[in-house]
Amino acid sequence: MIKREEVEDEGGLTVGNIRSYYKCEVCGYVTLVRTQYGWLDSHPIRYTCGNCKILIKGIAILDQQNADFRIDIENASLVSPENEADFYIETSGELLTEKLQPYNSETHWYIPPPFFRGLWGMGDPSDPQSGYEKFDIFKKNVISFLHTTKNEWPRIRRINELWHHENHEYLVQEVRKVLPKKQFPMNNRLEYLRGVHFITKFFLQPVISYEHNETIFRELKSLFEQNPANMIELSRYFKDHYRSYDRRILRIIEHFTEVFKFLIPAYGLTYYHEISEDLVEKKGMTTAAFEDIKEFYIDTYEFVAEIVPIIIGYNNLKYRDDFKKMSDTKPKYEFDKFLEAHKGKKVEYIDGTEVFDSLIVDGSIDNKIRNAIGHNTYEFDGISQLIKYDPVGKNKPSDIREMYLVQFAGKCLSIFQTVVHIWELLYQTEKHLYVSQGMKSVNPAVFSMNHLEQKAIKEKVRSKKKSEKRMKKLIKKQKRKK
56 lies in the site for Zn ion, by CB under 5 A: no
Which region, judged by CB under 5 A, interacts with Zn ion, from 12-20, 45-53, 79-87, 221-229? 45-53
> Which pairing describes strands 283-284 and 386-389: parallel, antiparallel, or unpaired?
unpaired
Which region, judged by CB under 5 A, interacts with Zn ion, from 46-54, 105-113, 224-232, 324-332? 46-54
Nearer to Zn ion, 51 or 428 (CB): 51
Question: Where does residue 22 rank: exposed (0-12), middle (13-18), buried (19+ CB within 10 A)?
Answer: buried
Smallest gap from residue 91 Cβ to Zn ion (A): 17
26 lies in the site for Zn ion, by CB under 5 A: yes
Which region, judged by CB under 5 A, interacts with Zn ion, from 16-24, 343-351, 376-384, 426-434? 16-24
The CA distance from 467 to 112, in Å, is 36
Total of chain residues touching Zn ion, rule CB under 5 A = 6
52 lies in the site for Zn ion, by CB under 5 A: yes
Interaction residues for Zn ion, span 88-147 (CB under 5 A): none
Closest CA to 450 of 209, 183, 170, 256: 183
Which region, judged by CB under 5 A, interacts with Zn ion, from 48-56, 147-155, 268-276, 351-359? 48-56
Smallest gap from residue 22 Cβ to Zn ion (A): 10
Smallest gap from residue 55 Cβ to Zn ion (A): 10
Q: Nearest 5 degrees, angle CA 30-CA 35-CA 37?
A: 160
Interaction residues for Zn ion, span 262-281 (CB under 5 A): none
Residue-by-residue DSSP string for 210-274: -TTHHHHHHHHHHHHHH-HHHHHHHHHHTTTTHHHHHHHHHHHHHHHHHHHHHHHHHHHGGG-S-
**DSSP label at 270?**
G
1 lies in the site for Zn ion, by CB under 5 A: no
The CA distance from 333 to 341, in Å, is 9
3-state secondary structure of 380: strand
Nearer to Zn ion, 49 or 426 (CB): 49
73 lies in the site for Zn ion, by CB under 5 A: no
The CA distance from 414 to 171, in Å, is 31
341 lies in the site for Zn ion, by CB under 5 A: no
Smallest gap from residue 88 Cβ to Zn ion (A): 15
> Quick check: 435 and 441 in contact, CB under 8 A?
yes
27 lies in the site for Zn ion, by CB under 5 A: yes
The one among 30, 33, 45, 49 contacting Zn ion by CB under 5 A: 49
Which region, judged by CB under 5 A, interacts with Zn ion, from 44-52, 104-112, 228-236, 333-341? 44-52
The CA distance from 298 to 18, in Å, is 36
24 lies in the site for Zn ion, by CB under 5 A: yes
The CA distance from 269 to 31, in Å, is 27
51 lies in the site for Zn ion, by CB under 5 A: yes
Strand partners, 32: 21, 88
The CA distance from 419 to 401, in Å, is 26
The CA distance from 447 to 442, in Å, is 8
Nearer to Zn ion, 76 or 178 (CB): 76
- Contact positions vs Zn ion (CB under 5 A): 24, 26-27, 49, 51-52
